[in-house]
Amino acid sequence: MASILLSSPSSKLYALQLNKAPIDSSFLQKQTHVPSGFLWPEADLVAAQQELNAPLIDLEGFFKGDDVATENAAKLIRVSCLSHGFFQVTNHGVDSSLVKLADDHLDQFFHLPVSEKLRIMRTPGSPWGYSGSHADRYSTKLPWKETLSFGFHKNGSETVVEDFFNSRLGDDFEETGKVYQKYCEAMKSLALSILELLAISLGVKRSHYRKFFEDSHSIMRWNYYPTCQEPSLSLGTGPHCDPTSLTILNQDQVGGLEVFVDNKWQTVRPIQGALVINIGDTFTALSNGLYKSCLHRASVNAVKDRRSLAFFLCPRDDKVVKPPEELVTQVGTRKYPDFTWSEFLKFTQSHYRVDESTLQHFCNFILSESKSVN
């Protein structure tokens, strides 16, 4: 067993739990064969057969207030969200130099010695912090990746992201905190604009979802996928639907994001400068089931490591998730019960491993809980 200097109680627990060297990119990259814990079922490993026809939506006209361009963008979003819920956007207003800085700081973190990364090890039940293949949570179907997640909410001049990095990693990461405070603010601003287009595409008041998410509490997630010598046996991120509301994914040019549409895995081609948008389970509930969040996964390869930055827009914890009345009338019934994001998040962190049917299991869970109380 590799002995490492474990500097914090949680990382001591982590290593003791594993009773072996902690799992991080340096561990994964050394493996000539996929360790058994990282093997995935054949059903999850069927290779992608084609490229997804996801619309590339130019947001320039929308941002300029051009009504025709706005209507066209909303139409493209509707077609995509009625089918698979994935689309890409360009001229999105997120400064390319900020995106480059964000990529560089992600790299700097994941190349730290594992003992440093373990200093901000994710604590059980919380989504925040570092994780090596989620080996502290699961023992099979381990994802071939390491991740770092932190929260973002913007009330006035609060600097929650800077505080996270300063408090947990110290002065060396002060600049990272500043970069990601700005990056998350830009992500939230873009997300609120996309929500306007989603509202238009659903025929509800344009500001409806923007108002609901004004005081959002979102999740910033860094994914680092090391090379894998047997890439057909493992996955970087297993098949799942995002439980969150809206995901803005900044993927590098390596490729690996795949969406399950028309009963086959289809690749989402990286487009330089574009951002990938997909809706999650919580938006499915907010649209009363009209827009489905889509099954997707991340494959790995033997040649090039891969990075992706996922901004997961989430409502404020205690806000009740329910669709606008006009969509209940349109569908004829409520498709999902009221719930809060904090209940759903807790379900994913403490009760249920996120997969393609998380929302259904969560609804069954809260309905059974309400029956046991009454």
Ligand X SMILES: C=C1C[C@]23C[C@H]1CC[C@H]2[C@]1(C)CCC[C@@](C)(C(=O)O)[C@H]1[C@@H]3C(=O)O
Active site residues: 306
Closest chain position to ligand X (CB): 240
| Stretch 288-317: interaction string toward ligand X, x if CB under 6 A | ------------------------x-----
Query: Residue 243 binds which one of ligand X, Fe ion, ligand AKG, none, with CB within 5 to 8 A depending on kind?
Result: ligand X
Question: Looking at 257, 275, 290, 359, which residue binds ligand AKG (CB under 6 A)?
Answer: 257
Residue closer to Fe ion, measured from CB, 196 or 242: 242
Q: Which stretch binds ligand X (CB under 6 A): 61-69, 165-173, 234-242, 248-256?
A: 234-242
Minimum Å gap between C-beta 311 and ligand X is 10
Which of 156, 127, 284 has its CA nearest to residue 209?
Answer: 284
Token pair listed for 122: 């994710």
Q: Which residues contact 31 (CB under 8 A, 6 or more apart)?
A: 228, 229
Note whether 266 binds ligand AKG by CB under 6 A: no
Minimum Å gap between C-beta 362 and ligand X is 11
Tell me if 269 sits within 8 A of 305, measured CB to CB: no
| Stretch 277-306: interaction string toward ligand AKG, x if CB under 6 A | -------------------x-x--------
Note whether 242 binds Fe ion by CB under 5 A: yes
Cα–Cα distance measured from residue 305 to residue 251, given in angstroms and rounded to the nearest whole number: 12
Query: Residue 358 binds which one of Fe ion, ligand AKG, ligand X, none, with CB within 5 to 8 A depending on kind?
Result: none
Cα–Cα distance measured from residue 322 to residue 133, given in angstroms and rounded to the nearest whole number: 34
Cα–Cα distance measured from residue 176 to residue 181, given in angstroms and rounded to the nearest whole number: 8
Write 6-14 long-range contacts (CB < 8 A, 24+): 6/115, 6/118, 7/115, 7/118, 7/119, 8/118, 8/119, 8/121, 10/118, 10/121, 10/123, 11/115, 11/118, 11/119, 11/121, 14/118, 14/121, 14/136
Q: Which stretch binds ligand X (CB under 6 A): 54-62, 70-78, 192-200, 237-245?
A: 237-245
Q: Which residues pair with 88 in a beta bridge?
A: 56, 276
Tell me if 259 sits within 8 A of 292, measured CB to CB: no
Residue closer to ligand AKG, measured from CB, 6 or 259: 259
Note whether 308 binds ligand AKG by CB under 6 A: yes
Minimum Å gap between C-beta 309 and ligand AKG is 9
Cα–Cα distance measured from residue 299 to residue 235, given in angstroms and rounded to the nearest whole number: 5
Residues binding ligand AKG (CB under 6 A): 221, 223, 237, 242, 249, 251, 256-257, 296, 298, 308, 310
Q: Which residues bind ligand X (CB under 6 A)?
A: 127, 134, 143, 147, 219, 221, 237, 240, 242-244, 312, 345, 348, 354
